Amino acid sequence: MNVLSLDRKDVPDAIKKGDVTICVVGGGYVGLPFAALYADLGAKVFVCNRDQKKVDTTNAGKTYIYEVGLDNLVKSAVSKGNLVATTNVEDAVAKSDIIFITVGTPVTQEGFLDDSQIRAAAKSIGSSMKKGSLVVLRSTVNPGTTENVLLPVLENSSGMKLGEFGLADAPERLQEGKALEGLKTEATVIGGNKFHTKSAEIAAGVFDMLGVPVSIVSYPATSEFSKFVWNYLLDSAISDAQIIAQICEKLGIDFMEVRNTANTDPRIRMMVAGPGSGGSCFPKDVTAMFAMAKKLGIEQNSLKSVELVRIINGHVMAEHVASLVEAVLKEKNIALKDASIGALGLAFKGETDDTRESPALRVIDILKKKCGSVEAYDPFVKNVEGISITKTWQDAIKNKDCCVILTDHKEFFRIPPEELKKNLRNNCLVDSRHIIDIGAARKLFIYRGVGRGAR
C-alpha cells in the first residue's frame, strides 16, 4: 500500500485491518517491545535482528530481554502469525509499508553518537523499499541525522526522491522495564512537519493507534535534539539529588524527608538519590550533547554543569557508595581488604536485565579492587564477566561481612530485614536505593544509606 496516500485519521484502521505491514529494523530493548505491541494490536509486523539465535527465540514465541509483559505479548503475537522475526532486512522491507529504524547508536571516543548502524540500515532499506513507503527513525541520533545522513543514503540506494517515499523522526523516550506501559501512555514527538508534511502526518497516525498524545515539530533536528534534552534534564535532576543527599549525610538528616518536603512545591520534582545513573541513554546522550555543544563553540563555562552531571552520576556516587561500605565495616573494626561483601543488584535500574553503564557494576568494580571478596545476586542478570553471581539473594550475602543493595528490584523490597540480618556474618548494611525501612535498618544493622544521616 502507498501509505502516503492515506489521511492521518485512516492510518490506525489500515494497520489493524492488516492493509499496512510494519517492519522494525533492530530488535533490542526499543524495537522488540514496539514490534510486539503493534503485532498484538493486529498489525502484520516483521522485526529484524542480525543475531540468528535471537531471531529463532522470537519465532518460537519467546524473548531474550526482560520487559514487564513482553513474554506474553510476543507469545500471543507469534501464535497469531502477526509477528515474524528475520535476519533478512531487504526481504522484510520489500514486504512492508512502514519501516521503523531502532538500531543502536553507541558513543564514539570523541563523544559523538556513531551513526554507522543507521547508515547500514538505511542502505538495506533503500535497496528494497517500495514507492509510497514511510521510514521512521526511532533511534537516538545526532541532530541533523535524518536530513543529512539518513535521507541521502535512502535516496541513493533506492533511486527515489523524498516525496516518492516518506521520512520522519519519532525518538523514543521509554523506560526500560516499563517500555510497553510507556508506549501506551507516553506522549510522542514527530519531526518534522516543514521537512515533509505528509510523512509527519502519517507517522503521527501510527501513534494515534495507541491513543497517546502526539505533537509534530517543524523539523527532524528539533525532535532529534529533544531526545538529548529530555535525558540531560533527567540526568541533571538525578545529579542534583545526589549532591543534596551527600549534604544530608553530613548534616545527620534524612534526604528522603527533605525530598518529600521539596516535592510539596508543584514546581519541583526532586529525584531519588542513589549510586548514580546508567543504562543506554543517560551516559551516551548527555556525553554526546556535551561534545556537540563544544563543537558548536558554546562557551566552556556554560558547559560545566553538563560535564559535572556525568561526573557525579557516572563516577562520584559509585565511589561514595563504596566509601559507605568501608565506613560500616570500620565500625566493626573490619578492614575493607579483609571483608567479604554480598551485593544485591547488577542491572542499572529495577525490573530490567540491562547492565549497560550500570552504577551497580561500577560500585562492585571498586569494591573488588579493595576488599577480600564480592558475590552478587540479581533476579534478571545471570552472567557478567568477572563477577561471581549466585542463584538467590541468600546465597549472595550468606556469611558475608556486609550487604550492599545496588539495584531497586521489586524482589529486594520484599526481603524481611530480619532475614537479611540472619544470613550475614556481620550485621553491616549499605542501602543505596532506600529499600530497607530506615527504622528497621537502624535497629538491626550497622547501617548507611545514600542521603541517610547517622542519627
Residue 207 and residue 34 in contact, taking contact as beta carbons nearer than 8 Å: no
Tell me the per-residue pLDDT of 196-218, one tens digit each, with 9 for 90 and over.
999 999 999 999 999 999 999 99
Nearest CA to 410 out of 68, 30, 29 is that of 68
Residue 211, judged by CB atoms within 10 A of its CB (0-12, 13-18, 19+), counts as: exposed
The one-letter code for the residue type at 51 is D
Beta bridge partners of 376: 343, 389
Query: Domains in the chain and their CATH numbers?
Result: 3-218 (3.40.50.720), 252-449 (3.40.50.720)
User: Could you say which DSSP state residue 338 is in?
Assistant: G
Nearest CA to 397 out of 340, 448, 330, 325 is that of 340
The pLDDT of residue 455: 57
Global pTM reads 0.91
DSSP secondary structure string for all residues of 384-406: -TT-EE-SSHHHHHTT-SEEEE-
Q: For residues 425, 430, 436 and 442, what is the CA-based torsion angle, rounded to 10 degrees?
A: 80
Residue 202 and residue 132 in contact, taking contact as beta carbons nearer than 8 Å: no
Residue 149 and residue 181 in contact, taking contact as beta carbons nearer than 8 Å: no
pLDDT tens across the length of the chain (455 residues) = 899 999 999 999 999 999 999 999 999 999 999 999 999 999 999 999 999 999 999 999 999 998 989 999 999 999 999 999 999 999 999 999 999 999 999 999 898 999 999 999 999 999 999 999 999 999 999 999 999 999 999 999 999 999 999 999 999 988 888 889 999 999 999 998 899 999 999 999 999 999 999 999 999 999 999 999 999 999 999 999 999 999 999 999 999 999 999 999 999 999 999 999 998 889 999 999 999 999 999 988 889 998 899 999 999 999 999 999 999 999 999 999 999 999 999 999 999 999 999 999 999 999 999 998 999 999 999 999 999 999 999 999 999 999 999 999 999 999 999 999 999 999 999 999 999 999 999 999 999 999 997 65
Taking each helix axis from N to C terminus, what angle separates 317-331 and 359-370, rounded to the nearest 10 degrees?
50
Residue 272, judged by CB atoms within 10 A of its CB (0-12, 13-18, 19+), counts as: middle
